Amino acid sequence: MEKIIRIDAQNIDSEHICCAIGNDKANRDRAATKKAWLKERFDDGLVFKRLDARGKVFVEYVPIEKVWKPITGRNYMAIDCLWVAGRFKGNGWAAALLNECIADAKAQGKAGVVYVSATKVEHYLTDKRFFLQHGFKVVDNAPPYFELLALDFYRVETEGATTGPAGPAARTEPPAFTAAAKNGTCPATEGFYFVYSHQCPFMEEYVHLLADLASQKGYPVAVKQLTSAAEAQAHGSPFGTLGIYLNGQLRGHAPMTEKGFEKFLAQLEA
């Protein structure tokens, strides 16, 4: 019978981590990149759980103070990614993985759980309707289409103190996007600026593809790899693993093929 297992420092070298499960060299290299990133995050409280099966069914979450997204807050758990793909869809695994996160957050005395979604269905972001059905509410937004969703476990009492069912009040700060995220800005104000991290093992190759394509079109290009949670909170896009900026403004978050980028450019220039 299929079950959910936790990937940690003890078993990560012998278990697959869903993102890249092909046996070819490219996917082995991608998996190694992701595993290296995870190993450095476990001490931050990051949790990676997946279905004990050969498929892309997993959830990744971390205390909000260590999340690789431009979010502020205290004493919440932040979901990096919740993904159920292929034949596993429609069997309740997304809800089961979400409940794993919620249970862990409550056990750690967190005030709630947060997730970055979008106003409409966007690539690589779980549809916000799923989270709304499980009690989450929209608590903040950032351009061009991002929304911060939060599930609060306890009623807020006064000045940021929340009261749980089994103990003293826990100090917390409500989750929100940073000022830079709410402005949709980046340090580079001319041309394309691509910011990414190894949280997703595919992003580096896509970023360099897109950067090369943009350069061939005559745009100034800058690329920044995020290397810490603090850096991601200061300079990352709300999606976290990729941000595509043009002339200082966030214009997208999804990796693209060459054909997709051509279409993307045409829409921007129109």
As a three-state string, the secondary structure of 17-60 is: CCCCCCCCHHHHHHHHHHHHHHHHHHHHCCEEEEECCCCCEEEE
pLDDT reported for residue 165: 46
- Which residues, in sequence order, are bridge partners of residue 83? 58
R_g of the chain, CA atoms, integer Å: 19
pLDDT reported for residue 23: 76
Structural tokens at position 134 = 């499980």
- Residue 221 DSSP SS3: strand
Closest CA to 145 of 126, 118, 125, 124: 118
Euclidean distance between CA atoms 29 and 37, whole angstroms: 13
- What architecture does CATH give domain 4-177? 3-Layer(aba) Sandwich (3.40)
**CA angle (203 as vertex; 28, 191 as ends), nearest 5:** 155
Structural tokens at position 79 = 């979901």
pLDDT reported for residue 170: 54
Euclidean distance between CA atoms 86 and 160, whole angstroms: 42
Taking a C-beta distance cutoff of 8 angstroms, is the pair 73, 175 a contact?
yes
The one-digit pLDDT tens for each residue of the chain (270 residues) are 589 999 999 999 999 988 777 778 888 889 999 999 999 999 999 999 999 998 899 999 999 999 999 999 999 999 999 999 888 999 999 999 999 999 999 999 999 999 999 999 999 999 999 999 999 999 999 999 999 999 999 854 444 454 554 433 456 899 999 999 999 999 888 999 999 999 999 999 999 999 999 999 999 999 999 999 999 999 999 999 999 999 999 999 999 999 999 999 988 877
Alpha-carbon dihedral sign for residues 106, 112, 117, 120: positive
Structural tokens at position 14 = 């012998």
Taking a C-beta distance cutoff of 8 angstroms, is the pair 43, 17 a contact?
no
Spell out the domain ranges in the chain: 4-177, 192-269
pLDDT reported for residue 158: 42
pLDDT reported for residue 63: 98
**CA angle (255 as vertex; 249, 256 as ends), nearest 5:** 105
Question: In the chain, what's the furthest Cα-to-Cα distance?
Answer: 60
